[in-house]
């Protein structure tokens, strides 16, 4: 059964698999740091109305499966979570300041992939069946 989220003017199901890594891929995150990162990510997601479906914190990377509202771009989500967590982590763990003297805990990039239950073929079939005309055009007019 597919469950959709409802907003005041929307019905949506937007899910992303997001991964980011530590700068230089240093395996620097110990158990205490991992536990604190989990807290920071949970707090940040709660503020932005983002639901964490699944997560993993490794010694040099973060994996998240998140569900978010349609008014927030995934780039903004990642920017917010990486920036916030980097700031707090470097304030709380002095050993990070010595390793990352430039105040950047995370690498600049990230991986993102959408997740869904509706395939591209299902969407194409739905759109094609809106009008019974048999045409090869990209758009149909009613």
Catalytic residues: 126
Whats the size of the chain, residue-wise? Answer: 142
Q: Mind spelling out the 3-state secondary structure of 118-130?
A: CCHHHHHHHHHCC
Q: How far apart are CA 76 and CA 44, in angstroms?
A: 12
Are 52 and 41 a contacting pair, CB within 8 Å? yes
Of all helices (H) and strands (E), which one includes residue 66?
strand 61-67
């Amino acid at each position: 059964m597919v469950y959709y989220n409802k907003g005041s003017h929307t019905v949506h199901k937007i899910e992303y698999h997001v991964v980011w890594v530590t700068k230089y891929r240093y395996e620097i995150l110990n158990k205490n740091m991992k536990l604190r990162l989990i807290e920071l990510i949970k707090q940040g997601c709660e503020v932005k109305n983002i639901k964490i479906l699944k997560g993993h914190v490794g010694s040099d990377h973060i994996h998240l499966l998140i569900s978010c509202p349609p008014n927030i771009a995934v780039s903004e989500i990642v920017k917010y979570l990486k920036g916030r967590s980097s700031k707090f982590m470097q304030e709380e763990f002095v050993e990070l300041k010595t390793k990352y003297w430039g105040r950047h805990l995370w690498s600049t990039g990230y991986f993102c992939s959408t997740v869904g239950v509706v395939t591209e073929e299902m969407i194409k079939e739905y759109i094609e069946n809106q009008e019974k005309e048999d045409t090869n055009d990209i758009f149909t007019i009613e």
